[in-house]
Chains A and B, each alone.
Chain A
């Protein structure tokens, strides 16, 4: 059974710092991994999707990497801003359960001005 873990559960950094969020999964048989952002009381905003054949994806100040064989992904945020404060969730689309995403519990990020 696929399990997704995110470490740390919470992170506080000063504005301007570069930071890395971690996501690990137990079964490497995935189609893709997707990173989301969730603001308090809101839905999820899709940030990046990395297909299993890809190593990384970039969007603006965000860079996501995928090491499928080791079951790990990282989300790198450059030059963090207070507006980046949110919960970041990763989710995998498992080859054994193709119609659903399996989510981690998220990392709560606070960027201090």
Chain B
């Protein structure tokens, strides 16, 4: 169990550019989540995958955001035409698919700064 891995740790980009983040969940976890956290706030839910199926998306996830989990293993989160308001920590989490009482395990996040 190597934990949830996220890459890159930091990303600085200019407004209008596209960025992509990667998340590798714990290997036996079939549920994967993306959250966004701004300074001084708790994480906010963005989207959820059960295996390769994206089952829920928050209204926070505008049409500039897209997430994939093509083989039910790693996931990517892409932001197109970045805006300064996208600056935040993007956190990935995974859990086992056993009801609703499996704890979520988070990665160290990707900090995005849009200049």
* A residues apposed to B, CB below 8 Å: 4, 31-32, 34, 36, 41-46, 49, 51, 89, 91, 93, 98-106
Contacts and interface: CB of A to CB of B under 8 A. Distances in A.
Contact of A99 (B55, B103, B105): B55
B108 interface: yes
Interface of B: 4, 6, 33, 40-45, 48, 55-56, 58, 91, 93, 100-101, 103-109, 111
Given A44-B43, A103-B42, A31 B100 contact: yes
Contacts of A43: 4, 6, 91, 106-109
Nearest to A108: B40
Given A32-B101, A99-B48, 12 more contacts: A32-B100, A43-B4, A43-B6, A43-B91, A43-B109, A46-B103, A49-B101, A91-B43, A98-B100, A101-B43, A103-B43, A106-B42
A53 B107 CA distance: 28
A34 B104 contact: yes
Interface centre among A4, A46, A105 (most CB of B within 10 A): A46
Contacts of B103: 34, 46, 49
Contacts, number: 58
B99 to A, nearest CB: 8
Contacts of A34: 103-104
A100 B101 contact: no
A25 B108 CA distance: 26
Given A32-B101, A49-B103, A100 B109 contact: no
B106 A45 contact: yes
Given A41-B111, A99-B55, A100-B48, A46 B104 contact: yes
A44 B6 CA distance: 13
A41 B107 CA distance: 12
A34 B93 CA distance: 14
A4 B42 contact: yes
19 contacts: A4-B42, A31-B100, A31-B101, A32-B100, A34-B103, A42-B109, A43-B4, A43-B6, A44-B93, A45-B106, A46-B105, A89-B43, A91-B43, A100-B33, A102-B45, A103-B44, A104-B42, A105-B40, A106-B42
